[in-house]
Amino acid sequence: MHLAGGRLRDFARGCDVLGGGGGGQARYALPLAVHAVELNGPVQVVPATELPANGLVMPCTFLGAPAIGAERIGTCREAATIRGHVERHFGQPVVAMLCNEIGGFHGAASVALAAHAGLPMLDADGMGRAFPGMSRVAMHLAGVTPDPVVLADEHDRVVAVHAGDGWAERMARSVVVGFGDRGVSSEYVMTVDQVADAVITGSVSKALRIGELIGAAASVPDAARAIVAEFDGVLIAEGRVTAALPEPGRHTPATIEGTGADEGRTLRLEVGHEYLAVIEDGQVLATVPDIITVFDTYTGEALGAEELRYGQRVVAFALPCPDVWRTPAGLDLVGPAAFGLDLPYRPVVAS
Amino acid sequence: MHLAGGRLRDFARGCDVLGGGGGGQARYALPLAVHAVELNGPVQVVPATELPANGLVMPCTFLGAPAIGAERIGTCREAATIRGHVERHFGQPVVAMLCNEIGGFHGAASVALAAHAGLPMLDADGMGRAFPGMSRVAMHLAGVTPDPVVLADEHDRVVAVHAGDGWAERMARSVVVGFGDRGVSSEYVMTVDQVADAVITGSVSKALRIGELIGAAASVPDAARAIVAEFDGVLIAEGRVTAALPEPGRHTPATIEGTGADEGRTLRLEVGHEYLAVIEDGQVLATVPDIITVFDTYTGEALGAEELRYGQRVVAFALPCPDVWRTPAGLDLVGPAAFGLDLPYRPVVAS
């Protein structure tokens, strides 16, 4: 399988769905991916079984303030610079890139980073969705060390951080501030034989498939129905946003009032960096780490948490998160309490 | 030659003299050096001719906010952590430490860093005095690259910066902010055969000798006279500070009114991070990069630029800077204009 042409758009749409409102918008990374593929050719997507067991898999992602990144988009050649440093450090070739965060911006951007680094993408990612925080990845739960965190800017400046789990992100963010609040980062480098238990397998093909379902659907509600049917999710409601005060990073509840068949229902959406929970009449319908997605009924775009506005017509649905997040250790890291919610975790179960 | 016991105090006194008011006070680093030598034994001071030509010389210095460093003094084992990283990076053993900045705090601290790293000190330094800024070193003028800048904190966290000359310091400071505003840094690592033209030779023994002269003098003015006689300097004046508003990092002129044989003279001292110039009746008596030192007549301590206070009895004198700073390239980097002074450079010449 490879990513190029129209598949890039499908893939980006799927990334936005898997973002669960978080991770920024894949549609803004799409031009980077299209341009990178034009320059470097299609990006192959491969399963771990097709790679040499002792080759290195290199996660890679943009880091920095989103507002800076919107203007200072980088060249994505940072990934090639990082690849060189990683190979020198480990004395082994990198054989594939791993998308850290399939959800939202970083999912689509990873195609651009892989293309410029001259690497295939592993059909996997670190989260199966989007989360804030460097350590909210399957690699961390599997005990992989983030060291060295290798960071680069678009002028080939490279910084390598050896700080251990607790300080890796703190130090990486300090470094990126020095870069001018935008850089590319790689951490949790593994060998291929480590990835089986340390990544979310199949994320890239899943995002692509979701994008294809959206493209094939006759309407936005139909697209939502097709996605939940194929990926064991649940449709929550169609409705209209009647209250929303999005402030990125703060809990700012929004209200969705049902329309059509859902007339009379009132849903409360807890919103942080992503959609954290949906509550109706005191009942939890879905919470993190499951993936809550809100489609704009008119545009078909999966709305980012900071994009919710009064009056939007929407379709809300939820998809189950990867199994690793439903373990006790997973819920400690990314369950409702990890995001400040005093709510129980009620796994999304397809009806 | 080795540094231990009473020689450490002499050395620290000499470092304060060579600081020219800048670089912080060596007396505050003296306990670090004493403790490190107690734990690790005396530090050998060696000329480059006694070291293997292809061995590495590792400059090493504390970095961060002085106010933080006063409370969070580090362990100096950071130097051992850095040594390990440098040796792995270059694949060669480090055979000596180089003091970056002999003047003030960092001169005395370098003994502690060398002791903990298990290294002798090269009888040399990077400045021959104190300067603010990572690139104001002889290594920079000689074209040595600062990369990699290797930084560590007291918890063995290590960060390596490959950013080139222009960004090395910016990135290093960002990293140190991440450490909590205190760390140890090494940059401009060289092989022994590179040092001849790239360091200030003899700095350590010079500081030690100055300290010995102070210890042997019958009075503070006598100490000043002995130092200028041996090191081709000039005595400027004895007097009293009659105006001083020290604000570190800002140009805040101070006034010294002559006493005794200098009665009736009025000197204006331009003060920045260090003493930048002495002016009398419109004549420049001394400027950076020459070393202007102000002794407290009662304590015999070389006063830091931020320690000047109204009413202090002082003896001011100047020593010539190393020749490398008197070249056109040297004056570009550290001449009066580099510190914002619209003054000509008038080299100190022994009368």
Check whether A187 has a pLDDT greater than 90: yes
Contact A238, A261 (CB under 8 A): yes
Q: What pLDDT, on a 0 to 100 scale, did the predictor assign at position B169?
A: 95
Sequence length of chain A is 351
- Note the ipTM here: 0.88
Q: What is the 3-state secondary structure (H, E, C) of B180-242?
A: CCEEEEECCCEEHHHHHHCCEECHHHHHHHHHHHHHHCCCHHHHHHHHHHHCCCEEEEEEEEE
Check whether A318 has a pLDDT greater than 70: yes
Asked if A178's CB is within 8 angstroms of B173's CB, the reply is yes
- SS3 of residue A334 by DSSP: helix
Find the helix or strand (DSSP H, E) in which A190 lies. Answer: strand A190-191
Q: Which residue of chain A is at minimal alpha-carbon distance from B85?
A: A162
Least reliable range by pLDDT among A37-46, A61-70, B111-120, B277-286: A61-70
Q: What pLDDT, on a 0 to 100 scale, did the predictor assign at position B86?
A: 98
C-alpha distances (whole Å) from B87 to each of B91, B135, B184 are 5, 23, 16
Q: Measuring CA to CA, which residue among B177, B195, B196, B194 is closest to residue B185?
A: B177
Taking each helix axis from N to C terminus, what angle separates A203-216 and A6-18, rounded to the nearest 10 degrees? Answer: 100
Alpha carbon distance A260, A283 (integer Å): 21
Mean pLDDT of B158-187: 96
- Interface test with chain A among B90, B162, B167, by most A beta carbons within 10 Å: B162
Q: What pLDDT, on a 0 to 100 scale, did the predictor assign at position B170?
A: 96
- SS3 of residue A3 by DSSP: strand
| Residues 6 or more apart in contact with residue A342 via CB below 8 angstroms | A336
User: Which amino acid is present at A90?
Assistant: F
User: Residue B65: pLDDT band by 50, 70, 90 thresholds?
Assistant: confident
Mean pLDDT of B333-343: 95
Check whether A136 has a pLDDT greater than 90: yes
Q: What pLDDT, on a 0 to 100 scale, did the predictor assign at position B72?
A: 84
| Residues 6 or more apart in contact with residue A70 via CB below 8 angstroms | A28
Contact A83, A158 (CB under 8 A): no
User: Which residues does chain B have within 8 Å of residue A158's beta carbon, measured at their own beta carbons?
Assistant: 161-163
Mean pLDDT of B118-135: 97
Asked if A161's CB is within 8 angstroms of B162's CB, the reply is no
Q: What pLDDT, on a 0 to 100 scale, did the predictor assign at position A248?
A: 64
Which residue has better confidence, A85 or B273? Answer: A85
Q: What is the pTM of this model?
A: 0.91
User: Which residues does chain B have within 8 Å of residue A147's beta carbon, measured at their own beta carbons?
Assistant: none
Mean pLDDT of A19-42: 94
Name the pairing type of β-strands A234-243 and A313-319: antiparallel
CB atoms closer than 10 angstroms to residue A55: 17
* Of residues B155, B159, B163, nearest to A161 (C-beta): B159
Alpha carbon distance A108, A16 (integer Å): 9
Q: What pLDDT, on a 0 to 100 scale, did the predictor assign at position A345?
A: 97
User: Residue A181: pLDDT band by 50, 70, 90 thresholds?
Assistant: very high
Q: What pLDDT, on a 0 to 100 scale, did the predictor assign at position B68?
A: 85
**Is the omega angle on the peptide bond into residue A248 within 30 degrees of 0, that is, cis?**
no
User: Which amino acid is present at B14?
Assistant: G
Alpha carbon distance A157, A151 (integer Å): 8
User: Which amino acid is present at A172?
Assistant: A
Separate counts of helices (H) and strands (E) for chain B: 10, 17
Closest-CA distance of chain A to residue B267, Å:
42
DSSP letter, residue B116: H
Quote the percentage of chain B above a pLDDT of 90: 90
Contact A25, A12 (CB under 8 A): no
Query: Is the C-alpha dihedral spanning A301, A304, A307, A313 positive or negative?
Result: positive
Check whether A40 has a pLDDT greater than 90: yes
Closest-CA distance of chain A to residue B71, Å:
22
Q: What pLDDT, on a 0 to 100 scale, did the predictor assign at position A142?
A: 97
Name the pairing type of β-strands A121-125 and A94-99: parallel
Q: What pLDDT, on a 0 to 100 scale, did the predictor assign at position A311?
A: 95
Average pLDDT, chain A: 95
Strand ranges across the sheet with A234-243? A283-287, A275-280, A266-271, A254-258, A234-243, A313-319, A291-296
Check whether A220 has a pLDDT greater than 90: yes
Check whether B122 has a pLDDT greater than 80: yes
Closest-CA distance of chain B to residue A178, Å:
5
User: Which residues does chain B have within 8 Å of residue A179's beta carbon, measured at their own beta carbons?
Assistant: 171
User: Residue B248: pLDDT band by 50, 70, 90 thresholds?
Assistant: low
- For residue B137, the cross-strand partners are none
Asked if B175's CB is within 8 angstroms of A177's CB, the reply is no
- Interface test with chain A among B86, B150, B157, B187, by most A beta carbons within 10 Å: B157
pLDDT digits (tens, 9 = 90+) for A238-268: 999 998 876 766 778 899 999 999 999 999 9
User: Which residues does chain B have within 8 Å of residue A167's beta carbon, measured at their own beta carbons?
Assistant: 155, 157, 178
- Interface test with chain A among B155, B174, B177, by most A beta carbons within 10 Å: B174
Asked if A157's CB is within 8 angstroms of B162's CB, the reply is yes
User: Residue B66: pLDDT band by 50, 70, 90 thresholds?
Assistant: confident
Residue B137 phi, psi (nearest 5): -135, 155
User: Which residues does chain A have within 8 Å of residue B174's beta carbon, measured at their own beta carbons?
Assistant: 174-175, 177-178
Check whether B247 has a pLDDT greater than 80: no
Least reliable range by pLDDT among A120-124, B63-67, B93-97, B301-305: B63-67
Asked if A158's CB is within 8 angstroms of B163's CB, the reply is yes
Check whether B249 has a pLDDT greater than 70: no
pLDDT digits (tens, 9 = 90+) for B68-108: 888 888 888 999 999 999 999 999 999 999 999 999 999 99
- SS3 of residue A270 by DSSP: strand
Which residue has better confidence, B72 or A147? Answer: A147
DSSP B38-100: HHH-PEEEE-GGGS-TTSEEEEEEEEE-HHHHTT----STHHHHHHHHHHHHHTS-EEEEEES
DSSP letter, residue B336: G
Maximum alpha-carbon separation in chain A: 63
pLDDT digits (tens, 9 = 90+) for A280-298: 999 999 999 999 999 999 9
User: Residue A71: pLDDT band by 50, 70, 90 thresholds?
Assistant: confident
Q: Which residues of B touch A (CB under 8 A)?
A: 85, 155, 157-164, 167, 170-171, 173-175, 177-179
Q: What pLDDT, on a 0 to 100 scale, did the predictor assign at position A351?
A: 77
Mean pLDDT of B14-24: 95
